[in-house]
Amino acid sequence: MNQASEAVSLEVELGPVRLPNPVLVASGTFGHETEMAGWVDLTLLGGLVPKTITRRPRRGNPPPRTVETPCGMLNSIGLDNEGVDYFLQHQLPKLLELGCPVIVSVAGEDVEDFVELASQVSRVQGVTAVELNISCPNVAHGVDFATDPQLCYQVVHRVRQACRVPIWAKLTPNVTDIRPIAEAAQRAGADALTLINTCVGMAVNWRQRRPMLGTGTGGLSGPAIKPIALAAIYRALEVVSIPIVGVGGITSAEDVMEFLITGASAVQVGTANFFRPRVTMEILDQLPGLIRQLGAQGVQELIGTLRRPEGSA
């Protein structure tokens, strides 16, 4: 870091959660434990969201599970994980030793599942928050709680009563209008929204007349979805006042600035970790300089300072 950047404060507040900086890593793109430790100083991250866990172990979807697309990738991993008991015993303790905030991502098949998982995880000393993955597009027969305001309200409300730590509700962009769902999550007691999970997409091998993914469709991520993520944040902020964690297509400090100015209080970097494993370190290095360019002394004062166009909806 250069000298001019030393005075810049990167600390951010998301309701009850205080993070050392706004650069987190997104669930599913950084392993379950410390797989990335060879590339990244994990202690410098603003936060780490490990791969979503479920109550029982899941083998995930049939391969192929990933395919590269222009400016992005499709995945249909299908929540492959060892289940909550294994996570609590073997994986979470290693993450908590790192000293960077850990936000545990959980997904249930029904409301009771979510309640049980969130309450179990939140009883572990040191967990910063629970992220409810109510938006995974790749799980066969899974109910997508974030496509319906009432379902979203139900699950967040029930989890709120059972969970001892702040709740971040991760929403899907695969809806006509994200605003009623964002509003329902806030009304139900979510402490923050994570926007966005992947966008439903598909790739086709026309010679074989087959979809490229084993499940047919999958979730699109990477730079291709950045405009969709920004628009989701912009729209959601018309109806909510809780903090937003922005995710989708971030590959640089400039991207992070776009999210912060639009109104995200923090961001998560996902797909970019695959093709530039040190991307979060690069971003952290460059962010203070960009904040200074806007004459600010800290991240917090820039959040949501977007000048909305006159008469914009």
Ligand X SMILES: Cc1cc2nc3c(=O)[nH]c(=O)nc-3n(C[C@H](O)[C@H](O)[C@H](O)COP(=O)(O)O)c2cc1C
Residue positions annotated with a catalytic role: 136
* 222 forms part of the interface with ligand X (CB under 6 A): yes
Determine the Cα–Cα distance for residues 85 and 107; give it in Å rounded to an integer.
Answer: 14
Residue number of the CB closest to ligand X reads 28
Q: Does 91 sit near ligand X (CB under 6 A)? A: no
Q: Which stretch binds ligand X (CB under 6 A): 21-29, 90-98, 161-169, 184-192?
A: 21-29
Among 169, 193, 250, 279, binds ligand X (CB under 6 A): 250
CB of 295 to ligand X, least distance (A): 29
Nearer to ligand X, 110 or 301 (CB): 110
Contact set for ligand X, span 130-169 (CB under 6 A): 133, 136
Is 34 in a helix, a strand, or coil?
coil
DSSP 8-state class, residue 12? E
CA angle (235 as vertex; 305, 71 as ends), nearest 5 = 90
The binder of ligand X chosen from 230, 247, 260, 264 (CB under 6 A): 247
* Alpha helices, DSSP H, located in 90-225: 92-97, 111-122, 149-162, 179-187
305, 271, 302: which is closest to 22 by C-alpha?
Answer: 302
The region, left, alpha or beta by phi > 0 then psi within -120 to 50, assigned to residue 94 is alpha
- Least Å from the CB of residue 145 to ligand X: 12
Among 215, 221, 262, 286, binds ligand X (CB under 6 A): 221
76 scored as a contact of ligand X (CB under 6 A):
no
Contact 280, 45 (CB under 8 A): yes
User: Whose Cβ is closer to ligand X: residue 55's or residue 170's?
Assistant: 170
Tell me the C-alpha distance between 228 and 302, whole Å: 21
Task: Give how far Cα 133 sits from Cα of 46, 54, 136, 245, Å.
Answer: 20, 10, 6, 13
Q: Indicate which single residue of 32, 55, 58, 170 sits in contact with ligand X (rule: CB under 6 A).
A: 170
Reduced to 3 states (helix: H, G, I; strand: E, B; else coil), residue 201 is strand
Exposed, middle or buried: residue 31 (CB in 10 Å: 0-12, 13-18, 19+)?
A: middle
Report d(CA 61, CA 133) in Å as an integer: 17
50 binds ligand X (CB under 6 A): no
Judged by CB, which is closer to ligand X: 5, or 85?
85
**Which residue lies nearer to ligand X by CB, 77 or 266?**
77
* Total interface residues for ligand X by CB under 6 A: 27
Instruction: Rule CB under 6 A: say whether 197 interacts with ligand X.
Output: yes
28 binds ligand X (CB under 6 A): yes
| Closest distance of CB 44 from ligand X, Å | 19
Q: What DSSP element (H or E) covers 194?
A: strand 192-195
Q: Report if residue 26 touches ligand X, rule: CB under 6 A.
A: yes
Selected from 17, 40, 77, 152, the binder of ligand X by CB under 6 A is: 77
**252 interacts with ligand X by CB under 6 A:** no
CB of 2 to ligand X, least distance (A): 27
Strands of 199-202's sheet, edge to edge? Answer: 66-69, 72-75, 217-221, 199-202
Q: Which residues bind ligand X (CB under 6 A)?
A: 26-29, 51-52, 73, 75, 77, 79, 105, 133, 136, 170, 197-198, 221-222, 225, 247-250, 269-272
